[in-house]
Amino acid sequence: MPTLLVKNIARLATFDDEGREIADGAILVRDNVVEAVGTTDELAGRAADRVLDLSDHVVLPGLINTHHHMYQNLTRVMVQDEELLVWLKTLYPIWSALDDEAIGVSARVAMAELIASGCTTSSDHLYILPNNCTLDATIEAARDIGLRFHAARGAMSRGESQGGLPPDACVETEDAILADAERLIGRYHDASRHAMSRIVLAPCSPFSVTPELMRNAAALARRHPGVTLHSHLAEDLFEETYCQQIYGMRSVDFAQSVDWLGDDVWFAHAIFLSSDEIRRFAETGTGVAHCPTANMRCGMGIAKVREMLDGGVKVGLGVDGSASNDTSNIFMEARQAMMLQRVAPQRYLSEAPGGRGGFGGTPSALSAREALRLATRGGAGLLGRDDIGALAPGMSADFIAVRLNQLGLSGTERDPLAALVMCGPFRVDYSFINGREIIARGAFRDFDLDGALAAHRKVMKRLYTP
């Protein structure tokens, strides 16, 4: 098996259980797994097939994106000033023209953008599948580019004629949804350690599917080890009103009624949780994908991330779709998460001495390192992974390096790790995924980025001409 020794790392942030940050750090990789982590001196006697000197770089685990809609990069910067319902109803008709070519091309561009900005593992929630589209196109794109991928088989089954939000042309029958989910699990799901491909079952939202689909999807997922569950929840006040009117309960109560609370479930957004609902998430192990930029972009609100973390809720980060965020950069989401918690309304409430909140030297609502932990260990926890999100012996060889000697990072020598959140954004200089070098010296090694962009422009013009 080939070996790689990365040495002379200016700052190696492991995000291991001890939170070690190592000056003059080194990593030894054997095949696709980290074999040893320490200082350069400690690993100096280890023989390796290749030695990579990363002097003047900060190295950390690859970032993990837990919520995305990759096809939406075909409709960036549209519906710029409207709230969520208008945004959705404007874009649904455009998305109804998607086909497999569009799905595959948009996925390749989205994955390249994520990898270039530090992501090594991503989920993608593909919930609109018109014109016989399939998830296969996104899974094949991930294999081609080398991204570790959790493909979320989304679905909408409740159209306008049945009291749902999406137009009938954008929904599928529930039998077809479940049959395709079973097919995808059988063909692509890998529950083993260091797996590059896993399947997630992901009915879209309480206002676009029926309770029966939610229950049946949960039952199907739980028959297969490692298949997890994902959906939107508590994203918009409209959703709370809808759940009260249709189901006679709040959205979290609805989720519980259809067996959707548990340590195999994570929800995107979860902005409007009460303190009691946050406690229930913590008790059941239910997770939250925090998408701060999209939440601000659509004017939805500020999730109670500090309260969730203090209460023991699993929280990771998501870029959300590129029509509600317009970019795909987890470092930027970490920065937005940190900043947004510092201006959250609860931040200004008086608290007991020594608690969080307020001014006068009390702890930050969310620190830079906490934000990066959401982007690494937090994301791994949501995806049900114990093999990514940290650099330690036995972990997957997913890591990134950012060059410190560059404009925008000057003057950050005192804390280069925090600088990756507080400054930026940056492109990575190196990205290794599953031991494979995807980016070297700031450029993709094997991926034809120019060709992907040209194909993307062609598809975009075919789908939509202003």
- Match 């959205």 to its residue by tokens: 251
State both tokens at 324.
């509600």
What pLDDT does residue 88 have?
75
Q: Residues of the chain whose pLDDT is less than 70?
A: 345-364, 465-466
What pLDDT does residue 22 have?
98
What pLDDT does residue 349 have?
44
What pLDDT does residue 83 have?
73
The model's pLDDT over 260-304, given as tens digits with 9 standing for 90+, comes to 999 999 999 999 999 999 999 999 999 999 999 988 887 788 999
What pLDDT does residue 351 have?
42
What pLDDT does residue 465 have?
67
**Spatial CB neighbours of 366, under 8 Å, sequence gap ≥ 6:** 305, 306, 309, 337, 338, 341, 342
State both tokens at 19.
């939170």
What pLDDT does residue 356 have?
40
What pLDDT does residue 308 have?
96
3-class DSSP string for 374-424: HHHHHHHHHCCCCCCCCCCCCCECCEEEEECCCCCCCCCCCCHHHHHHHCC
Tell me the Cα Rg of the chain: 22
State both tokens at 262.
């548990």
**Spatial CB neighbours of 197, under 8 Å, sequence gap ≥ 6:** 139, 142, 143, 149, 151, 188, 189, 190
Helix (H, G, I), strand (E, B) or coil at 269: strand
Give the span between the Cα atoms of 46 and 5, in whole angstroms.
8
The secondary structure of the chain in percent helix, strand, coil, rounded to multiples of 5, reads 35, 20, 40
What pLDDT does residue 354 have?
40
Pairing of strands 148-155, 119-126: parallel
- Length of the chain measured in residues: 466
Q: Among candidates 383, 390, 398, 393, which has minimal Cα distance to 147?
A: 398
**Spatial CB neighbours of 417, under 8 Å, sequence gap ≥ 6:** 11, 13, 21, 58, 60, 368, 369, 372
Q: Which domains does the chain have, with CATH numbers?
A: 3-62+387-444 (2.30.40.10), 63-382 (3.20.20.140)
Eight-state DSSP code of residue 134: -
Q: Among candidates 295, 218, 224, 316, which has minimal Cα distance to 261?
A: 218
- Match 């009260």 to its residue by tokens: 244
Q: Among candidates 255, 290, 257, 286, which has minimal Cα distance to 271?
A: 290
